[in-house]
Amino acid sequence: MKMLWRRRVLAAALSLTAAVGGLLVAGTAHAQTVATGSLSFNGDSGDYISQGKSYSYSTSNGDALTVSSSTGSTVSISVNAYNGDWWTLTFDAPGTQVLVPRTYTAAHRHPFNGTGPGLDLSGEGRGCNELTGSFTIIKAVFGPRGYVQTFDATFEQHCEGGDPAARGEIHISNRPPPPEVAPKPAATTRPHAATTRPDATPSSRPSATPSSRPSATPSSRPSATAVGSRPSATAVGSGNTSANDTDANTAAVVRNAVFSPLLLIGVGLVALAGLVAVGLAVGLVIYVRRQ
């Protein structure tokens, strides 16, 4: 009993490790929700994984399946069943090969399969410590970046080198991968329109420059100087600005000159009145004291 309890604890720990490893792989490979898929398996009496029972899950029955594959070399399927069951099934090609339709023998527990094929069915707190088995890829269609469009396979695995086995099959069908959007050309590939039309630059049209039309210059039309003899026709502020400023300054000086003497006279009168008041006050005080 003690050995059996230790074995179950170890198997549960390994199953949890496999589940975490599957989640890491799925996180790296971006897990896809399976549009249409099913997983079914059963086992012999004495098989630790299946417990000698049959299991069947399908998206048509409300069971959720996800699949992930970064390069097509490893495919991991997770089942989150409607009734609360959960399972993880992983297929791994030898080395960095891509999984193709063929039978892979001498498979060992993934991810400890080295350069050989790998397989692992675990879940519900149960997993193999050591695993041997085989699987057959019936159809595998991958899109860009590990997209799994179609994946059909059968498998058989034995825990701890025993004779009892778990056998099953997986079917996955997804829509074709969405087309990849081509990158937009950089803005530097479209030169500015001004550089493609040199005739539009001022330097390319010398005929429009004042130097190319001497007949339009004031010096070539002396008769136009008559305007200067009619200052009354000029616009306000154009041509007589200095004269206007001079007149305004002169008026200001005159106003200041008239205002300054008046200011001085007013100050003098105020001071004189103050002195008179002080004198009267002093005289009144002297007079009072003499009485």
Do 156 and 150 contact (CB within 8 A), yes or no? no
The residues, ordered by sequence, that sit 6+ positions from 39 with a Cβ below 8 Å of its Cβ are 55, 56, 57, 58, 65, 77, 79, 87, 89, 168, 169, 170
**Which residues are CB-neighbours of 153 under 8 A, at least 6 positions away?**
91, 135, 136, 137, 138, 140, 169, 170
Q: Indicate whether 191 pLDDT > 60.
A: no
Q: Is 186 helix (H, G, I), strand (E, B) or coil?
A: coil
- Report which of 122, 115, 117, 114 is spatially closest to residue 103, judged by C-alpha positions: 117
pLDDT in tens, 164-188: 999 999 999 999 998 874 445 545 4
Q: pLDDT of 104-119, one tens digit each?
A: 999 999 999 999 999 9
Strands 32-33, 54-58: pairing kind: unpaired
pLDDT in tens, 233-249: 444 344 444 445 555 55
**Pairwise CA distance, residues 169 & 154, whole Å:** 4
Flag whether pLDDT at 282 surpasses 50: yes
* CB-neighbour burial class of residue 52 (10 A; exposed 0-12, middle 13-18, buried 19+): middle
And the tokens for 71? 């390069």
Answer for the pair 208, 202: CB distance below 8 angstroms, yes or no: yes
Q: Bigger pLDDT: 90 or 8?
A: 90
Burial class of residue 15, CB neighbours in 10 A (0-12, 13-18, 19+): buried
β 118-123/86-92 pair status: antiparallel
pLDDT band at 221 (very low <50, low <70, confident <90, very high): very low
pLDDT at 196: 46
pLDDT tens digits for range 45-92: 999 999 999 999 999 999 999 999 988 999 999 999 999 999 999 999
Q: Please state, rounded to an integer, the average pLDDT across all residues of the chain.
A: 74
With 50 as the cut, is the pLDDT of residue 9 above it? no
Tell me, what's the pLDDT at 218?
Answer: 43
* Phi, psi for residue 38 in degrees, rounded to 5: -155, 150
Per-residue pLDDT tens digits for 13-30: 444 444 444 434 333 467
> What are the domain boundaries of the chain?
2-173, 260-291
Q: pTM here?
A: 0.56
3-state DSSP assignment of residue 284: helix
What per-residue confidence (pLDDT) applies to 226?
39
